[in-house]
Every structure is written in structure tokens, then in C-alpha cells.
Structure 1
Amino acid sequence: MDTLLLIKACFLLVPAFLLGCLLFSRLRWLARLPAALGLGAVLAFGVAGLLPGSMDYLVSFSIMAIIYSILSLGLNAQWGYNGHLNFGVAGFFAVGAFTMALFVTSPPSGLMAAYAQQWFGLNAPYLAGVAAAGIMAGVVAYLIAQPILHLRADFLAIATLGIAEIIRLVFQNERWLANGPQPMSGIPQPLSCVFDRAGCGWLPDGLQSVLSVMQPRDYSYLYLVIVTLGLALVYVVLEAMVRSPWGRALRAVRDEEDSAAMSGKHVKSLRVQSFVLGAVVIGVAGALYAPYMVTIDYSHFKPLFATFLVWVMLMLGGSGNNKGAILGAFVIWAVWSGTGFVTDSLQVALQGVAPDVASRMSFLRWAFVGLLLALIVLFRPQGILPEKKRVSRFLDKAPED
């Protein structure tokens, strides 16, 4: 294995190790860490040795799957914990992405000012942009929650879907806000200097020398580590919250609202808190998405793509189960990516025979995902990993009969 593949495998070791920690979560820490490290090493160096030509694709696939995993976790915080039928995921996703872009970019100047407009540009650090994206999405969710959270089921779904479309149209038409219908480009990527020839001034010379074999096009390996750490942080925080008394109160409101109210729970406040929490997580996903894409516009946040797909992910993985939300995101993103290859091949094959049919091949992907959703609802409504009714690790096990 040459030096370049070895370094790439070292970057893959971080997400592979965290995957091992998730898989071996039932073990104690003294056993979990070496087991996760062993599994991570096998996966990372195995991929580098056996599939060197596919590594770049697997990395880009994993980055998008992780971003969708965070979206799925955000929706799980709303629907899985508290029963909010939120069809406005795309709206909070857009708020997070555009807030990130506005915070970390500089305002256009010179000739570019005539073509690119934006409300402000703070040239802020990456972490400040992530925090601002989550906070802004939470503020928007809080303002939306006040008039609509008294709605239930399909009425709430219609309201949130309409709000998401309004948010998208605002970003599409108000050019002063985020360049309107024209894309916002030049979103800086965190730590991109690591692979530049000039290098980072704070990076030790020895490490800079080792990383010099990698090119700027290999930046996705570093960004995979960044988004993986973001996913791990979101997962740990949500797991701690759902297993707390506050999380159990959310589930009580979801399952039997009247009984929760009679037990002294502030039902409306808990519903608003759950809705805001999910929006913050979705906003963080948008903050991770924007730098990876470098250029974003309103078309990236259509409700059909950024909402419907996330719902299928959560339903397949298991509503109310954070591990299930992550698993569902990876499975559905694999299905979506795989059907893309199939539809492209069919489009080329049918172009000369039936051009009208060939032009509609892209809709076959949506038909397949829709069919998959119908099968999930009919045969596995609880998902691959069902919700665990016992959420507290501190309660004694119930005595056996």
C-alpha cells in the first residue's frame, strides 16, 4: 500500500472507529474501545487495500449519507419523540444552510458586487457559522410553533409543508437576502488550507510534510471526519436528552397528551421544545451541507427531495430510535444513489428507441422510493430498529414472572 492510500485509510479510520463504538454500544468501555478500534482498522485499511479505485466515491457517498442522518435525527426529535408530523424539513434545512453561508463568507466587493448580493457577510469562523445556523433555525421554529402547534396530524403536515415552501420562495425571490435566484458561491470550507501548497501556518512541519502527498481534490477525506464528528455529537446529545426525565415527558405527551397534562406536565411547552430541538438539529445539517457544496441556491431545498426522502429514511430505520434514524439514512441514500445509475443506463438505452420515455426515467427513482415507503408501512411500520420502550438505563430490570 503506497503512502497516499495509507493516509487516506487513516482518515477513514475515524468514522470507522465511531461506527464500531455504535455497533458495540452494549459492551463496557474497556471492551468497547479496543473492539471498535479493531473493527475500524479492518474496515478502513480493508477498503484502501481492496477497493482503492472506489474510495473517493465511498467518501462522497458517506458525507451525504451522514448529512441526511443528521436530518433524520432532527426529524426523529420531532416526530419520534413528540409526534409532530413535520413536512417542513426542507425549510429549516434551507435556513441552516443559508445562515451558514452568510456568516462564513465575506460580502461581495468590486465587480462581484454587481452580480452577487447578500444581506451581510461576517467572514466568521466555521464553528460560529454552525452555531448560528442551529440558533437561527431554532428561532424560526419557535416563531412558527406558536400559531401552528395546536394543529394535529394532517393539518400540521399541510401547514409545515406550506411554511417550508414559503421559506424557499423567500430565498428564491429576495435577492438582497442571499442573492435570490442566483446561487451563493465561494462558501469557504473549514481547514481547506491543510491540502493547499501554502499549507496552514499553525500545522506542525512534520505533519504538513506527511500530508503534502494529498491534493486539494482529496479534501473530502478531511470533511468526512468533520461531518462524522458532527453526527457523533448530535447523536450523543439526543441520546442523553431522550433518556432523561425531559425525554420521557416528551414521549408521555406523544402517547397520551391528556394523561400527561393531568400528571402536571406543561404539554404546550414540551411540544414547542421538541419542535425547536428538531429544527436546531436540522439547521446544523444545513450548516454542514453548505460548505461541502461550496455553492447553494433555492433549488437545493425543494420539499419533495429534502423532506420526503428524510421521512422515508426515518420510517425505514425506525421512528423513535436514533440508531434506526442513522441506519435508515444510509440505506435509503444507498438506494437513491443506486437507482440513479439504473435510471441513467435506461435513459441512454431508450434514447434512440423511445425518447419520450427516456426523458421521464428520472421519475422512476421517486416511484421506487414511494413503493419502498408503501412496503415499509404495510409490512414493517416499526422500522428495522423499533423504538425501545425502556429508555432509562438507571431503572432496575422488571422482575420476571
Structure 2
Amino acid sequence: MIDLLSYGAFFLSVALSYAIICLGLNVQWGQTGLFNVGIAGFVAIGAYVSALLTTPETVDHLGGFGLPIMAGWLGAALATGFATFLIGALTIRLRADYLAIATFGAAVAIHLCILNLQSVTSGPFGIGFIPRPFANLADRPLAFSLANFALLAAVVLALYLALEHLARSPWGRVLRAIREDEPAALALGKSAVRFRLQAFALGGAIMGLAGATQAHFIGYIAPDNYQPILTFQVWAMLIVGGSGNNRGAILGAVVVWGIWALSGSAVASLFPAEQQARAASLQIVMIGLALCAILLWRPRGILGEARIMSRHVLRRSPPATPLPSTPSET
């Protein structure tokens, strides 16, 4: 029973770390319509920045700063937000598929930098011994797993409440106006480029925070962790949960991660160790079929986009004023 609870907490912790990435993508795509396929690169920036800030100087000979974990998380979000802002300043005027190509190219460039800057990132060997929250509970697996789950749940809840507030604010309404009808928003004096760039940087900062939480939860990172398959996973999570809906982003992360984990276990049991490449391919096929089934059932995602109204707009129509009676009715 204890092992089952420990695994359940571990499973949900991993799913919530993906939920943070989905919330960042939802700001970019769900709220603003920015087609970002460079997610893996932005997550990698956050992971490596936090690892370098918090890893002791003597570990892996990387010259880390040994800062507290929370300082690493904050630094990861700021650094990734700044990097995303710079990339967005060059690419944000591109449309749809052109922006997708540009962000994918940025992710590839980031991956190559991580792989080749061995004096900073340790190259293909990765960074180990990353400080983990609640390390004093490591000898008690259940308590350790529950503590990490509670921490990640608190981070997801805080982000959810903040993003819901932003979505209902004038800033969030401008983003949706630009997404739905850019000429009308421009006619009202709104700068589409400026608002898109803000949303792009905010989403990137959230993805960087997610990378930092994953790095400290696992305790080890390497370039292979940030392959394009990560981008596919996050997009699948957002689409399944419901693009434009923060609750859908969280639910989609849990559902798709569950499908991913269960299909991986099922495929691994069918193939011997020497056929793992074939097993990985079959796993992707199984996930694709599961996603198709979900989207055939709910084309807009499990929850779909929620209609957001300003707090200044009445949610219920006022009672209709009765028309004055005519002489024929008296």
C-alpha cells in the first residue's frame, strides 16, 4: 500500500511538472495564437540555469553557485523569459507556420549549445547531483514523494490563479481580441506586436520554471531530455485538455502523461530489452491512436475553451422591462 501511494505521488508530481509547461503554452497558443514548437529548448534553458545556480561548486567541476532552490527557480524563470523575449523580438512578426519553423530552429540551436558548451553544461554527460527539495526525507520514500507532490501542487495552483486573473484582466482580453480579430484590435489602438511579445515572454518564463522544477525533482539533466518529443508531448496535453482553458491544460497533462506511462509499461512488457527502439515507436503509435479517440469524442478537448467575461459585465441579463400596454390590451 505504501509503495502504491508513493508511486501515485510520484506519477502526479511528474504530471504536474508537465502541467506547468502546458500553462505556459496555453498563454502563448490558447490565449494569443502563437504557434510555438520550440518548447523543448525553453524548458532546457530553465533546467540548466537552475541547475547551475544551485549545484555546489565542487560537483561535476561546473563551478555552480550553490544558491537555494527557490533562487534557482526564480533565476530560471527570469533567464528563460529574457531569452524568449529576445527570440520573440526577432520572430514575433512571423505568422503561423513561419513562426513554428523559427521557434523550432531556436530550440535546435539551444540544444546544440547545451551539447557543445561542455565547460558550462558538461555536454552530453549532463549535470548530476542537482539539489532536491526535501532531501532530508529521501530515506522515507512516501514522505519524500508526498512532500514533492504538495510543493508542485502549490506551484501549479499559484500559477493557475495568477493566469486566471490575467485572462480576465484587460491585458488578457486584448490578447484574445488580437487572436480573434487583429484588424479590429489595431483599430482600437492596441499594438499587436507588443502584446504578442509580452505573452510569448511570459509563456517562456513559465516553461523555464517548469524545466527547473523537473530538474530538481529528478536530480539529473542531460541534453537527451530535451528532444523534440517533449514538444509533441506538451502540445498533445494542451489539445487533449482544451486549448484556451487553464484547467484543461492541467487536466490534459495528467491524462496524456497517464497514457504515456501506461503505454510505455505495456509495450516494455511485450518487447525484450534489445528491441527497445521498436517498442518506443509502437508506444508513439499507441499514444497517437489514444489521442485520436479522445479528439473524436471531444473535438475541442476534454474541457474546451472557457468563455471569459470581465468582472464589470453582468453574468446574467437584467430583467426585461415590461412594454407599456396598448389601448387594445386595457
The two structures have a TM-score, normalised by structure 2, of 0.91
Q: 2:23 aligns with which of 61, 73, 77?
A: 73
CA–CA distance in structure 2, aligned partners of residues 391 and 72 of structure 1: 22
Q: Does 1:289 align with 2:214?
A: yes
Question: Partner of 2:300: helix, strand, or coil?
Answer: coil
- Decide whether the 8 Å contact of 1:71 with 1:281 is kept in 2: yes
| Superimposed CA distance per residue, residues 206-253 of structure 1 (whole angstroms, 9 cap, x where no aligned partner) | xxxxxxxx6267422211111111111111111111110100000001
CA–CA distance in structure 1, aligned partners of residues 293 and 202 of structure 2: 30
Q: Does 1:329 align with 2:253?
A: yes
**Unmatched runs of 5 consecutive residues or more in structure 1:** 1-50, 197-213
Task: Give the aligned partner of residue 383 of structure 1.
Answer: 301
Change (3 A) 1:336 1:216: closer
Task: Give the aligned partner of residue 176 of structure 2.
Answer: 251
Report the Cα offset of residue 359 of structure 1: 5.0
- Decide whether the 8 Å contact of 2:5 with 2:142 is kept in 1: no
**Matches of residues 31-180 of structure 1 in structure 2 within 5 Å?**
51-108=1-58, 116-118=60-62, 120-180=63-123
Change (3 A) 1:121 1:359: closer
Task: Give the aligned partner of residue 310 of structure 1.
Answer: 234
Change (3 A) 1:215 1:142: same
Question: Partner of 2:31: helix, strand, or coil?
Answer: helix
- Decide whether the 8 Å contact of 2:133 with 2:217 is kept in 1: no
Q: Does 1:363 align with 2:291?
A: no
- Decide whether the 8 Å contact of 1:347 with 1:359 is kept in 2: no
CA–CA distance in structure 2, aligned partners of residues 259 and 398 of structure 1: 27
Report the Cα offset of residue 367 of structure 1: 1.1
CA–CA distance in structure 1, aligned partners of residues 53 and 305 of structure 2: 38
Report the Cα offset of residue 91 of structure 1: 0.7
Report the Cα offset of residue 124 of structure 1: 0.7
Report the Cα offset of residue 393 of structure 1: 3.8
**Unmatched runs of 5 consecutive residues or more in structure 2:** 321-330
| Superimposed CA distance per residue, residues 236-290 of structure 1 (whole angstroms, 9 cap, x where no aligned partner) | 1111111101000000011111110111111110000000110011111011111
Q: Single out whichever of 97-106 and 379-388 deviates more from structure 2.
A: 379-388
Task: Give the aligned partner of residue 324 of structure 2.
Answer: none
Amino acid at match of 1:156: L
Task: Give the aligned partner of residue 206 of structure 1.
Answer: none
Aligned-residue identity in percent: 38
- Decide whether the 8 Å contact of 1:104 with 1:124 is kept in 2: yes
Change (3 A) 1:258 1:377: farther
Q: Relative contact order, CA 8 A, sep 6+: which one is greater? A: 2
Report the Cα offset of residue 391 of structure 1: 3.1
| Superimposed CA distance per residue, residues 155-203 of structure 1 (whole angstroms, 9 cap, x where no aligned partner) | 111111111111111111110121111120111112323x37xxxxxxx
Structure 1 runs (4+) greater than 6 angstroms displaced: none
RMSD: 2.0
Amino acid at match of 1:391: M
Change (3 A) 1:258 1:372: farther
Amino acid at match of 2:73: V
CA–CA distance in structure 2, aligned partners of residues 124 and 261 of structure 1: 45
CA–CA distance in structure 2, aligned partners of residues 346 and 184 of structure 1: 33
Q: Does 1:192 align with 2:135?
A: yes
Report the Cα offset of residue 365 of structure 1: 1.3
Report the Cα offset of residue 376 of structure 1: 5.0
CA–CA distance in structure 2, aligned partners of residues 86 and 278 of structure 1: 10
Report the Cα offset of residue 147 of structure 1: 1.2
